[in-house]
Amino acid sequence: MTRNQTKTEARTDGLDGVVVAETEISGIDGERGRLWVRGHDVETLAHERTFEELLALLLEGALPDEEGLSRWRSSLGIARLRAFEDLWRMGAALEAENAMDALRAATACLEEDGVGNGSRTSRTIDTRIIGALPVFAAAWHRRRQDLAPVPPDPGRSHAEDFLHMLHDAEPHPARVLAMNRYWVTVAEHGMNASTFVARVVASTHSDKVSIVTAALGALKGPLHGGAPGPVLDMLDAIDTHGGSATTWLRAELAAGRRIMGLGHRVYRVRDPRAAVLEEATQQLQQAGLSSAYLERARRAEKAANRLLAELHPERTLAANVEFYTAVLLDGLGLPRTLFTATFAVARVAGWLAHAAEQRDGGRILRPRQRYVGARPDLMVSA
């Protein structure tokens, strides 16, 4: 407690427990490990629906019929083609060293053709942005390898086309299924940091390109969307130091370092998304395509659970979504440098859904602060 706080004043660092919006988009039960999107459990959606169907659910409020699904696939295909045509004027943006820097800079360039100026319908703008992100991410990846970008194929699904643009090869159906499951699982997750940023910017009635570029900046952080890659670094380090997960984890905890992929601000049990992604990785393994990290990750998770129960019996630190995101994306043939950008390709849908809800029914977000510094009326001059 700081010197200017009274004992009755509650700390709000991190805004824990502070409700900033009412929403119909998604809900989380952290005690029981449940996540639902517009009334549908995320596990059910991940097993039964495609990313295009989830877009309709998030942005239109209901799962689409066949005609509606066809419209989404067609409009996204056109949006990907248009984004590819824009690559020529985004060269400097795509030269960035970091994929998220490139994605943010390229997305900001969409303002140049009037996407964010209110001259088009809201759904057209949403589709334009959603369709552009996988094209920019794939083009950045290929440029880093001194390879030419691969043109989108509007006849493919969003997940299939992304994998094709990355590798310039026909993607295995199991990988397309796994990519769909990943994107459906992570597209929306309540009032996370980047979604909160999106709602703050939306509350000012700024344009959607600005909303998304701001959210991309938040997602880049290692405590948010930047976490998956370091999970594989951890598994590599365990192998390098003899292969004993318990020994390595104990040393890290003793040194006061954070274990990536474990624990969550909301869940008090295992993140339900971790189970979906672990199963998706298992299915890749059954198709002969899985990451070499799957069994190592499972051993590390079990060791971490035992060790954390021993050292911190008062709280639960279970696997979160990043733990198996890393293993799944490795199994899909993605480099670690592209993990967070691939996350963004999905999460943009959640940002845009929240932006629309905030603009439709919310006031400008203007929280208060509590000043704890020196007060001029209490300062004594020398």
Whole-number pLDDT of residue 53: 98
pLDDT at 111 over 90: no
pLDDT over 80 at 48, yes or no: yes
How much of the chain exceeds pLDDT 70, in percent? 91
CA distance 226 to 83: 25
Express each pLDDT in 283-323 by its tens digit.
999 999 877 899 999 998 889 888 888 877 776 677 888 88
For residue range 341-363, what is the model confidence (pLDDT) as tens digits? 999 999 999 999 999 999 988 78
Q: Give the domains, in start order, of the chain with CATH numbers.
A: 26-221+343-361 (1.10.580.10), 228-331 (1.10.230.10)
Specify whether 278 is catalytic. Answer: no
Q: What are phi and psi of 228, to 5 degrees?
A: -60, -45
Supply the pTM of this predicted model. Answer: 0.90
Strands of the 40-41 sheet, one edge to the other: 26-29, 34-37, 40-41
Name the nearest CA neighbour of 365 among 194, 197, 213.
Answer: 197
Cα–Cα distance, 3 to 9 (Å, whole number): 12
What's the farthest any 2 CA atoms get from each other in the chain?
Answer: 77
Q: Using 50, 70 and 90 to split pLDDT, how confident is the model at 115?
A: low
Among 39, 36, 71, which Cα is nearest to 52's?
71
| pLDDT for res 37 | 98
| Residue 336 confidence class, pLDDT cut points 50, 70, 90 | very high
Q: Point out the least confidently predicted range of 78-82, 180-184, 212-216, 362-366.
A: 362-366
Instruction: Choose, from 160, 264, 278, 301, the residue flagged as catalytic.
Output: 264
170-174, 253-257, 335-339: least confident range: 253-257
Instruction: Give the 3-state secondary structure percentages of the chain, helix then strand then coil, rounded to 5.
Output: 60, 5, 40
pLDDT of residue 1: 37
Whole-number pLDDT of residue 12: 58
pLDDT for 129-158, tens place per residue? 999 999 999 999 999 999 999 999 999 999
φ, ψ of residue 335 in degrees (nearest 5): -75, 155
Average pLDDT over residues 52-67: 98
According to the model, what pLDDT value does residue 6 have? 40
Asked if 216 and 109 touch (Cβ cutoff 8 Å), the reply is no
264 is catalytic: yes
**Catalytic-labelled residue, pool 52, 188, 252, 322:** 322
